[in-house]
Amino acid sequence: MAKIRSINTENSAEKPLQGGVVLITGGSRGIGKAIAGAFAGLGAAVGICGRDEEKLLLAARELEATGARVLAHRADVTKDSEVRAFVQATEKQLGGITILVNNAGTGGGGFGAVQDKSEEEWDQVMNTNLKSVFFVSRAVIPGMIVRRGGDIINISSLAGKNTFAGGGIYCASKWGLQGLSGCMAEDLRAHGIRVSVICPGSVATEFRGRGPKDPSKVLTPEDVAHAVAMVAIQGPQSFISEVHLRPVAKP
């Protein structure tokens, strides 16, 4: 778990993750950027990655303006070598990773009837939404085991719990992430590592999913970030294994 119980600074109530290091994939925009901002506000150092260098640098400047220690690293999380380079750079510059948020995701060409989809579209969605979680987690976990604690928070979707027409590839990726997360939780709890999964409904981001939504009837990135932060600062003897997050107004 994040070492919140060992902090004795005067501002620990306001900065409960002071001294912690958070690694966030897909942290340059949308949900990932909001999560990075939430953790910076809680006192943690933040490492973010993405493929758009311009957006990464902009996000880093905004985070640094809050006083946080920040590393922005260009990386494609579907490539194991780039993942390992990102993890190593984070640990070298910021310290041992105490919280991992696997946020990077895509709908890509994943929406539509299965018979109309290509192998390329399947691979794009599966590699980003599922294989990347395997790559990043595998790179981070050994250090957490040595330190006897950590949090891994995987951003899934309510599409990982429900099916709908045209969602075959996307739902498969998120159902797979649910299964991976549950098994990781069982594998790692003996090492003091908590694995949780957040399942949001529709969120107002650049990722449109099946189509545009009424902004008054969807979640904001900050809603998801709040849920992630809540999971991370849970007391040390328990963990929230799964969160379902829905807008108040039904779409």
Judge contact between 210 and 157, C-beta under 8 A: no
Please provide the distance, in angstroms rounded to a whole number, between the alpha carbons at the two ends of the chain: 36
H and E: helices and strands count for the chain: 7, 7
Length of the chain: 251
Map residue 70 onto helix, strand or coil: strand
Look up residue 233 and give its two tokens: 């600062």
| Residue 170 a catalytic site member | yes
Q: Report whether 197 contacts 181 (CB < 8 A).
A: yes
Any residues with CB less than 8 A from the CB of 10 and at least 6 apart, and which?
Answer: none
Residue 3: partners with Cβ closer than 8 Å, 6 or more residues away: 19, 20, 98, 149
Both tokens of 198, joined, read 């957040």
Catalytic, out of 86, 122, 135, 170: 170
Query: Any idea which residue has 């993890």 for tokens?
Result: 87
Residue numbers annotated as active site: 170
